[in-house]
Amino acid sequence: MGELVRRYGPAVLAWALLLWLRPSPTPGRRLVRFCVLGLAVSQTALTPAVRTLTRELGAPNVELLVAHLAMVGAVWAGAQLLLTVHGLRESARRHSAWAATGGAVMITFFALAPNMMPQSPFVMEYCVAYALALLPELAVIAKLCLQDARRTADRIVRAGLGLVVAGVVAAAAYMVIRTVIAVTARAPFTFEYGRGFLLSKALPTAAHVLVLVGVGAPAAAGWLRRHRQYRRLGPLWLALYRAEPEIALEPPRTTLFPTRLHLYRRVIEIRDGLLAIRPYRTGSGTGEHQEAAEIAAALHAREHGEPPRATDPSVQGGQDLGSDTEYLCRVADAYRELTRPAGSRACGTTRSSSAPTPAPSRARPRSR
């Protein structure tokens, strides 16, 4: 069972991560997906099932070339992403040329080699070309990821970058070991330790898993954060929707996997709802709890047909979508606590007398 997991686990993990990372028109997301795709293809090509298939088709060892070229593409995409983010476009072009040249040389040596046995002609040259194509890209990835890990304040991002650096270092060490082993086929020395399970099997598997987990950790943390924010905004959104159904693009429904678009729509619809009840607010609130109390009072006044107020309340919130979303989440938390039935509250807490509990709102027919 352990051997099965070792052989197929990295490939399954890579394809799962690729499915998790939704397509996006942004160049950065495309490069990330291309990197993960390269890792997925590389790991899949090296599985026993694919090796058996290539032999049955009369093309033995072609899976090695596919796996190695896919790996070159994966590390190229990772290096391109980091170089572009850091504004090193000239270096990005040089690394693109280097990777393309390395891939072409690999294809040439593979075509010249009669087979992929270590002692066969051009096999050592192929292995050296493969290592030379990968190592500069791996060095760039490790260097820039380490720089970003030291600068970022986000612990999840820092941990993810740290895992990527560890995986890249492990991959580079494995490439050096495999290259030395390829050279020993024609050299008067041996390196038997490099053929052991730890360095020849466990090390490359660990490298792939570390990189994949490092790439996927920030994405998973981002999804969990969006999911939590989406749920936190639910009670406030529902109250505003009941008062003004026209704010919603779609009626209420259960969303198990909210996307960025779902969260964005929820924030916009809450803002539209707050705009609809703005005439019923006093404009005296200056914090999340005060604004929640104002919203509850405004919904109550609107529901009971009270006349609009003459005040023009100021708009509270964040400076951008992220900060505004978090601000509305805090308002929604305060609103949920404010409107929670008295029997479900913790002992010793009382309802503010200045904010009446709104009854479940119903949309009022509006004249057209």
pTM of the predicted protein model: 0.71
Residues sharing a CB contact under 8 Å with residue 322, sequence separation 6 or more, in sequence order: none
pLDDT at position 314: 66
Structure tokens at 113: 């080699």
Instruction: Look up residue 279 and give its DSSP letter.
Output: G
pLDDT at position 142: 95
- CB–CB of 108/69 below 8 Å? no
Q: List, as one string, the DSSP characters of 163-225.
A: HHHHHHHHHHHHHHHHHHHHHHTTSS---GGGGSHIIIIIHHHHHHHHHHHHHHHHHHHHHHH
- CB–CB of 109/125 below 8 Å? yes
Which of 46-50, 101-105, 324-328, 339-343 comes out lowest in average pLDDT?
Answer: 339-343
Burial bucket for residue 279 (CB in 10 Å: 0-12, 13-18, 19+): middle
Cα–Cα distance list, 197 to 8, 43, 176, 204 (Å): 17, 18, 16, 10
Structure tokens at 261: 């678009």
Kindly provide the b/e burial profile for residues 203-234, where b requires at least 16 CB atoms within 10 angstroms of the residue's own CB: bbbbbbbbbbbbbbbbbebeeeebbebbebbe
325: pLDDT strictly greater than 80: yes
66: pLDDT strictly greater than 90: yes
342: pLDDT strictly greater than 90: no
- Report how far residue 24's alpha carbon sits from residue 251's, in angstroms, rounded to the nearest whole number: 27
Identify the helix (H) or strand (E) that includes residue 354.
Answer: none
- CB–CB of 209/167 below 8 Å? yes
- Report how far residue 349's alpha carbon sits from residue 80's, in angstroms, rounded to the nearest whole number: 56
For 72-122, the pLDDT digits (tens) are 999 999 999 999 999 999 999 999 999 999 999 999 999 999 888 888 899
Which of 72-76, 187-191, 280-284 comes out lowest in average pLDDT?
Answer: 280-284
- Report how far residue 181's alpha carbon sits from residue 187's, in angstroms, rounded to the nearest whole number: 10
6: pLDDT strictly greater than 70: yes
| More confident call, 121 vs 255 | 121
- Report how far residue 231's alpha carbon sits from residue 256's, in angstroms, rounded to the nearest whole number: 10
- Report how far residue 103's alpha carbon sits from residue 73's, in angstroms, rounded to the nearest whole number: 9
Which of 97-111, 147-161, 285-299, 333-347 comes out lowest in average pLDDT?
Answer: 333-347
Give CA 16 to chain center in angstroms. 12
**Residue in this structure with the two tokens 């494995």, named with its chain if needed:** 174
Tally the C-alpha atoms within 13 A of residue 307's C-alpha that lie toward its C-beta: 3
344: pLDDT strictly greater than 70: no
- Report how far residue 83's alpha carbon sits from residue 79's, in angstroms, rounded to the nearest whole number: 6
- Report how far residue 316's alpha carbon sits from residue 96's, in angstroms, rounded to the nearest whole number: 48
CA-based end-to-end distance of the chain: 68
Nearest CA-CA partner of 227 in 216, 236, 239, 219:
219
354: pLDDT strictly greater than 50: no
Cα–Cα distance list, 57 to 54, 60, 161 (Å): 5, 8, 41
CB neighbours of residue 328 within 10 Å:
26
For 216-254, the pLDDT digits (tens) are 888 788 888 889 999 999 999 999 999 889 988 888 887
